[in-house]
Structure 1
């Protein structure tokens, strides 16, 4: 009698779960996953993925890749990442980039990794944009291209700094790299004025750097100032704001470290 009762309860649970649509199942699976109830969560997650929810497809791939609550299977993980990417989910693009770039569940393919990195970067994903800059800079999965590298470095540099310290650091580092590239003429013509503009833009969120690094860069900023004329000094803030697309809020602290 008890066994039949348990079976009936189980059937009611399954009918309730699998009568829901993909989005509802995905939401339910995330609630269970947050509580680390993998035994209940993963069947629901898989059903949501099978019904076409792109986030669920990515999440199922993640658990399969890492063997969390389920037997590790990198090849199956890759297939779910691919479905997620095909459905336009940005984390799916990112996972495919990493899969091809590191040979996870599929053979290494630098060109494919770049292809998915580009899809991800086109969604203004700072990590993928950072990777695109380095791909064009070093010729990884794509021929070296200074113009394309500068184009993507500029796009990345103009993003607003998020709360995530790693992502914010990538953005601020790219701003500083542009200042150095124009200062040193790295694969392009030296332009001290453009260099100084990017030093000003870097300055907006220099707190991403240590105090020691900031103080070193302040000395470089002072040298950069000596390379441009008085007229340029009078217009540089306005020109930097035009490029940045917003007001410079930290300009008065240019020669001070941020804590």
Structure 2
């Protein structure tokens, strides 16, 4: 039974990758109505992005939330982001934090990043740079480029963490190599004030982390809602 369900899900993913959204939608709808959280999340993705259907944020949120309630971390992150941005429902920061926190506890990088953004900006919550840095760190260690960039900036300026040019170099260089322009600009700025020894230490750390996080740097296959 499990193999048949997984086979159906595999067929749906293949259809989606081939642009056959109608077939993917049909399979995922059948599985979602049976309570499959992955299928529910993918249905949310279709409606959020308008893949083969009209964009429908309310319907997207409904399916995401069903998956989120079953502990599907990617859906939890998307529900949190949608409540924070007021997509599919009125903006609700409390619900956003609830779902982003759940996703973060499950190690979801988008949940970690978006929750960190909320604490960094202090939008309807108290600014908490220390907490933001912790969250960025967890996502950065999984190879999440935007989090690496934000964390590097915080180390460069001593925001939420003790100022540390070597750690700033580490995270900014990792982000910069993947095209994060703000990271490259910040890296060029701090390099001017670093000694040759500091640069060498930063480069060594960067190489070590590049090897460590290399397996985690692929983009998540399903990112239905944008990061803030």
Using structure 2 for the length normalisation, give the TM-score.
0.71
User: Displacement of 1:37 after TM fit?
Assistant: 3.2
Identify the match of residue 207 of structure 1 among 166, 172, 177.
177
Preserved contact between residue 113 and residue 141 of structure 1 (Cα < 8 Å) = no
Deviations for 1:78-107, whole angstroms, at most 9, x for unmatched residues? 221111111222221122023212222211
The answer to whether structure 1 residue 61 and structure 2 residue 31 are counterparts is: no
The answer to whether structure 1 residue 34 and structure 2 residue 10 are counterparts is: no
The answer to whether structure 1 residue 198 and structure 2 residue 181 are counterparts is: no
Residues 142 and 223 from structure 1, CA distance in 2 versus in 1: closer, same or farther, beyond 3 angstroms? Answer: same
Residues 124 and 31 from structure 1, CA distance in 2 versus in 1: closer, same or farther, beyond 3 angstroms? Answer: same
Which residue does the alignment assign to 2:127?
A: 144
Residues 47 and 203 from structure 1, CA distance in 2 versus in 1: closer, same or farther, beyond 3 angstroms? Answer: closer
Where structure 2 has 5 or more consecutive residues not aligned to the other structure, the ranges are 212-228
Residues 224 and 99 from structure 1, CA distance in 2 versus in 1: closer, same or farther, beyond 3 angstroms? Answer: same
Matches within 5 A, 1:214-253: 214=184, 217-218=187-188, 220-225=190-195, 237=201, 247=208
Q: d(CA) in 1 for partners of 2:182 and 2:49?
A: 38
Preserved contact between residue 199 and residue 221 of structure 1 (Cα < 8 Å) = no
Count of residues paired in the alignment? 206
Identify the match of residue 131 of structure 1 among 90, 101, 114.
114
Preserved contact between residue 132 and residue 152 of structure 1 (Cα < 8 Å) = yes
Using structure 1 for the length normalisation, give the TM-score.
0.63
User: Secondary structure of 1:105's match?
Assistant: coil
Query: Rg: which structure is higher?
Result: 1
User: Secondary structure of 1:223's match?
Assistant: coil
